[in-house]
Amino acid sequence: IEHLLRDGKIYVEFKYAWHFLLSSFRRSSKCDLVKSVDDCLKHGANPNNREGPGVTGLMLACMQLSFCGEVGQQVIERVVYFLLLLLKHGAEVNQRDFYGSTALHYAFQSRNYYLPPEEGRLAKKLVVQILIQHNANIYLKNSFGISAIDMAKREGHESWLKTDEASHAQRKERDRAPKKTEASFNLD
């Protein structure tokens, strides 16, 4: 990659069209995919770049939950690693596609008919929790007026967000409170 970048031969494709790596999501080993994407991101690929109708890498990873087949657990692990890798490199968790949907919308929209229902539900819950832990906004509405919390309620999964709603409210309250600096502590 460094040699090709130095010669300027693949800069545009590398910097802006690295999503092609996801086409091999189900076929390649986790280490190969994560290493390839990590190499691209380390060398300047934009983790927030979009393809198609404004879809980002985070959204594409969430979409992969729908395609977990006989190697479902491996794909779920790959989704989790890929999400964490993108987030580590600065992917914006609340970025929207052209229809206003976020990665959280994509996670809730995923439907897996290949895994046993409980496994599919747990995979979706894990991805939702990762996005929430990285400050995904559960109240953002897409162009159809639907938020992630609306989707969670419709599916009966609002309990996944209950503690997160409380922590979101606590975060808002904490952000409004004056911050203590070293000078404001009493060292007596």
Distance CA 81, CA 34 (A): 7
Please indicate, yes or no, if residue 167 is contained in any of the structural domains: yes
Does residue 184 lie in a domain region?
no
Q: Tell me the per-residue pLDDT of 20-73, one tens digit each, with 9 for 90 and over.
A: 555 555 455 555 667 777 877 887 778 888 877 888 889 988 887 766 555 567
State the chain's mean pLDDT as an integer: 74
φ and ψ at residue 141, rounded to 5 degrees: -100, 145
Please enumerate, as own/partner, the contacts of 84-90 that have beta carbons within 8 Å and a separation of 24 or more.
84/130, 85/34, 85/37, 85/38, 85/41, 86/37, 86/41, 86/47, 86/57, 86/58, 86/61, 87/58, 87/130, 87/134, 89/41, 89/42, 89/47, 90/47, 90/48
Specify the DSSP element, H or E, that contains 131.
Answer: helix 117-133
- Average pLDDT of 81-106? 93
How is residue 128 written in tokens? 């939702």
Give a yes or no: residue 19 inside a domain: yes
| Residue whose tokens read 């060398």 | 43
Quick check: is 185 in a domain? no
Would you say residue 136 lies in a domain? yes
**Full-prediction pTM beyond 0.75?**
no
DSSP 3-state of 51 = strand
Q: How far apart are CA 188 and CA 186, in angstroms?
A: 6
Output the pLDDT for position 186. Answer: 36
Can you give the CATH number for the domain in which 154 is found?
Answer: 1.25.40.20
110 in Cβ contact with 72 (< 8 Å): no
How many independent structural domains does the chain possess? 1
Task: Tell me whether residue 186 is in a domain.
Answer: no
Q: Which residues contact 120 (CB under 8 A, 6 or more apart)?
A: 65, 68, 112
The domain in which residue 81 lies consists of 2-176
